[in-house]
Chain A
Amino acid sequence: MSDVSAEEKRRLLRERRLAKMQQGKATERLNTILNQGSSTGHANVTSILEKPDAQTPNEVKEFRTETPLHDDPEVPDISLLLQQDTTEVDPDQDMEAILNKILGGGAAAGKQSGEGNAEGGASNPFADMMKAMMDSLEGQQQGQFDAEENSYRSELTKYHAYEQKKWKARFLVVRLVVHFCNFYYHFTNYASFRANLAGRLLSLFGESTNFFTIFVTIELAVISSYFAILSQKGLLQAFSRNHFLSKLQSMASTFVPQVAKYRLVVDTALVYWGGVSIFIEDLMFVVFLLGLTSLIN
């Protein structure tokens, strides 16, 4: 069948419909149709054509001729269905908004970078990512530099600690040898220079000797030269910082920051205490030698 005959058909059916409407009895026909179905109770429906404010047949004709009932309705424009507000929404911007949501950046919705970021209010998520990557790269490089610097510093600290130990060992040997020589000289040359187990009353009365004078002189020379060398080599800090009191102070300063300002005082005190401890060690060495000789006697 051609379209023309289809058109003719539609025209004929339309004319029949209009003729029926002009006959009247719209309500009766409506109720007849409704009562034919299984559902009941629609017998008292009033047709719109017979209502007081019903449209005229001509108006109805105009209304109905736009979309013929037997024809398929025209396919609506899909874009109209998608668009919520045709005056504002742009499809590109819509995708942009979706991308912004996905990327989760602080970008304002609906604005593109192509529109310009003069005000700085919008940001491209891609640019944000690149910036973050560059920042992290710089941080890594900085961290790498810091790590190497820290590694050098820790190695230098170890070296300083070893150097301080080396000079301590050298001076210890010198002290032991010199004090042993002083002791041996007085032990062999002075009969009264003996430790006695029985008691002082039985010991020989010693002549005034300069044993202790020599001892103190040696101590002053050794201690002053030891600290002079440490100071010259920049090892005095290693000397004091290795002490447990210095470490205790460092720990305490993390909780009580006021403690940190006494660091210099603590370092100086530890240096002086180092000198005193050398004197005590050498004195104990002399006591040890006296005790051994008391066993021999």
Chain B
Amino acid sequence: MLDLNSSSVLTLILVVLIAKTVITSIGKPTLLNKCWNLYSVVASRAGKPQFVELAKKRQELVQINKERKSISAQDQYAKWTKLNRSFDKLSAEVKTLADQVSTEKATVNKVVNGAVTLLTVAPIWFCRVWYRKTVLFHFPSGYFPGVMEWFLALPFTVKGGVGLTVWMFAVNSVLSSIVFLALYLVEPAVQKPDKAASTKSQ
């Protein structure tokens, strides 16, 4: 079952490293937040009582706040006070429900972290141990110097072949170049500072 052919190993490593690069680029905290938001939406739609109650109370809170801000405290003092009291009461209830829900959030975070580890870290370490001597592919003869082929065969592969280590290094190198280009394109440009302007401001 664990005896995968070289193309499968090659593909597996490629996919895992792409996933790892994507997660690293997005950032784990952002990923956890997005997963939690998705879970909240799904859970409230599925009818989980705590989420339904929390969503309902939040909606009421927004409504009361909107109504409270629309009236003048001086002109309609009684109504404003009543709304204010309701708002405070609802805030306390929302806070209690949020605390109850936060324990679920910790569970969701744990699950997501486990999934990320299972998806990105475990396969790499497994392959490094199990397929360390597997030749993933061979260079075409005559296109590379012998020294180069020997260097690219390190550490466990025969000369002329490419092993797991070199393949992972190659994939990581290409992916990091792509990420670098992508980040450069979205990065804001930095203008050259004007020394005359900075000394004028003295």
Mark A residues whose CB is within 8 Å of B.
144-145, 148, 151-152, 155-156, 158-159, 162, 165-166, 168-169, 172-173, 176, 186, 192-197, 199-200, 203-209, 211-212, 280-281, 283-285, 287-288, 290-291, 294-295
Contact = CB atoms under 8 A, between A and B. Distances in A.
B192 interface: yes
Contact of A162 (B5, B140, B189): B189
Contacts of B144: 212
A218 to B, nearest CB: 15
Contact of A209 (B135, B143, B189): B143
A186 B10 CA distance: 23
18 contacts: A148-B201, A148-B202, A151-B198, A152-B198, A159-B193, A197-B137, A200-B138, A209-B143, A212-B143, A281-B173, A283-B152, A284-B169, A285-B174, A287-B162, A288-B170, A288-B173, A290-B137, A291-B170
B166 interface: yes
Given A159-B191, A195-B140, A212-B143, A288 B174 contact: yes
B38 interface: no
Given A151-B198, A288-B170, A291-B170, A205 B136 contact: no
Given A152-B198, A287-B167, A199 B193 contact: no
Interface string B9-24: 0110010000000000
A158 B171 CA distance: 30
B177 interface: yes
Given A173-B181, A288-B170, A192 B141 contact: yes
Q: Which 7 A-B pairs have the closest CB atoms?
A: A206-B142, A155-B193, A162-B190, A284-B170, A284-B173, A294-B137, A287-B170
Interface in B6-51: 6-7, 10-11, 14
B11 to A, nearest CB: 7
Contacts of A281: 173, 177
A284 B174 contact: yes
B170 A197 contact: no
B195 interface: yes
Nearest to B172: A284
Contacts of A155: 193
Nearest to A187: B140
Contacts of A211: 143
B129 interface: no
Given A165-B184, A291-B136, A295-B10, A212 B145 contact: yes
B76 interface: no
Contacts of A295: 7, 10-11
A172 B180 contact: yes
Nearest to A196: B138
Nearest to B162: A287
B183 to A, nearest CB: 9
Interface residues of B, number: 44
B137 A169 contact: no
Given A166-B184, A287-B167, A145 B202 contact: yes
Interface in B102-158: 135-145, 148, 152
B174 A195 contact: no
Contacts of B14: 291
Nearest to A295: B7
Nearest to B13: A291
A199 B158 CA distance: 11
Contacts of B161: 200
A291 B139 CA distance: 9
Contacts of B139: 195, 200, 290
Contacts of A280: 173
A159 B137 contact: no
A287 to B, nearest CB: 4
Given A172-B180, A192-B140, A291 B162 contact: yes
A209 B143 CA distance: 6
Contacts of B169: 284
A155 B7 CA distance: 50
Given A203-B141, A294-B7, A295-B7, A212 B191 contact: no
B75 to A, nearest CB: 52
A208 B144 CA distance: 10
B172 to A, nearest CB: 8
B72 interface: no
A287 B166 CA distance: 9
Among B6, B14, B137, which residue has the most Cβ atoms of chain A within 10 A?
A: B137
A186 B142 CA distance: 13
A205 B141 contact: yes
